[in-house]
Amino acid sequence: EGGDRPAEDLGAGRPSSLPAEHAHGLFEPIVTYPLFESALRHARGLDEAQQRAQLGQLIAAMSAVAADNPYAWRRDVLSPEAALSEAGGNRIITWPYNKCMNAIAGVDMAAAVLLTTVGEARRQGIDPSRWVYLHGGAEANDVWYAAEREDFHRSPALAAAGAQALAQAGIGIEAIDRFDLYSCFPSAVTVACDSLGIAVDDPRGVTVTGGLTLFGGPGNNYSTHAIAEMVARLRAAGSGYGLVTANGGYLTKHAVGIYGMAPPAQPWADRDPDAAQAAVPLDRHPRLRDPVGTEAVHIEAHAVRYDREGPATGVVVCRLGDGQRCLAQAGGDSALLHRLAHEDCVGIAGEVTAGDPVNAFRFA
């Protein structure tokens, strides 16, 4: 219960999803990020067992970091098998993600980052051994509405932001000693790894906190915690570089920061904040069409929402014959839901039928 001051939009000033996206469930990250996961599986040519094994290994590795972090919300060490098991309340939320693969946002956490000049640090008497320098930074957005992206398994904006930040720092990705990649869901981590040119199982790791699914975080302010922990890790090591990524929306808004113990070769200078954005094509992508008729389509991404009883609703992103996209749901047919959950259905033909408020999907 607060005051009567009018709400103020501190964000981008526009909705994060289109009306059709909202109606079909894409306003919920627990739906949208599993859709990205289906596209990643297809792009990598994985079968279900391979996909699930990689998810289990990623969460297990992140849990080991969280277990050693006294600030982590969840400090259980999970084996890959435990991450994939539904025991102990670790049920499926949206296939293929168990509960432990979903961000923990309901936390009581706070973090702060203070920046100043070298001159001011000296005047304040701060020990130079504690100084951590910002070496590079960049930000860029992908196509704003998730359903209108050119594809769903990569991020041109994050790739561009990473390249610009590294260029400003004057180093290559091989010089980075530790990473914290925004980790609300596994697909966000995988897309970030691909964008930066590293493997998901890179020996340097993908998190210094334990990640959003285990360390937790107050929404996308998680990245403030990641920066704070990166500073602590760099101070403890006494040398090296760290890279932190941030994400807003549905893999929509991206930022990259590179931090190091040694002073930059060149002093921080004004940079073009739009340089990375200029490298992202925002004008050539399919548009979401709504309404539709009864039309032939092929699938480009798919996910299945679960309730406590099992598979409940399929969500499908489809390409129409005219090159535009549409969204649809599927429910009430256990065989259809099983196929959407467990098979790689990207590229498979189907049919959508207009509905109010959601379209219906069936396989051709």
CATH of region 47-284: 3.40.47.10
Structure confidence at residue 332 as a pLDDT band (50, 70, 90): confident
Provide the percentage of residues in the chain whose pLDDT is more than 90. Answer: 91
Q: Which residue has the higher pLDDT, 198 or 273?
A: 198
The class (CATH top level) of 294-363 is: mainly beta
Provide the percentage of residues in the chain whose pLDDT is more than 70. Answer: 99
The per-residue pLDDT for range 129-140, each reduced to its tens digit, is 999 999 999 999
The per-residue pLDDT for range 1-37, each reduced to its tens digit, is 567 888 787 777 888 999 999 999 999 999 999 999 9
pLDDT at 277: 96
Q: Where are the domains of the chain?
A: 47-284, 294-363
With 90 as the cut, is the pLDDT of residue 141 above it? yes
3-state secondary structure the chain: CCCCCCCCCCCCCCCCCCHHHHHHCCCCHHHHHHHHHHHHHHHHCCCHHHHHHHHHHHHHHHHHHHHCCCCCCCCCCCCHHHHHCCHHHCCEEEECEEHHHCCCCCCCCCCCCCCCCHHHHHHCCCCHHHCCEEEEEEEEECCCCHHHCCCCCCCHHHHHHHHHHHHHHCCCHHHCCEEECCCCCHHHHHHHHHHHCCCCCCCCCCCCCCCCCCCCCCHHHHHHHHHHHHHHHHHHHCCCEEEEEEEECCCCEEEEEEEECCCCCCCCCCCCCCHHHHCCCCCCCCCECCCCCEEEEEEEEEEEEEECCEEEEEEEEEEECCCCEEEEEECCCHHHHHHHHHCCCCCCEEEEECCCCCCEEEEC
Is this model's pTM higher than 0.85 or not?
yes
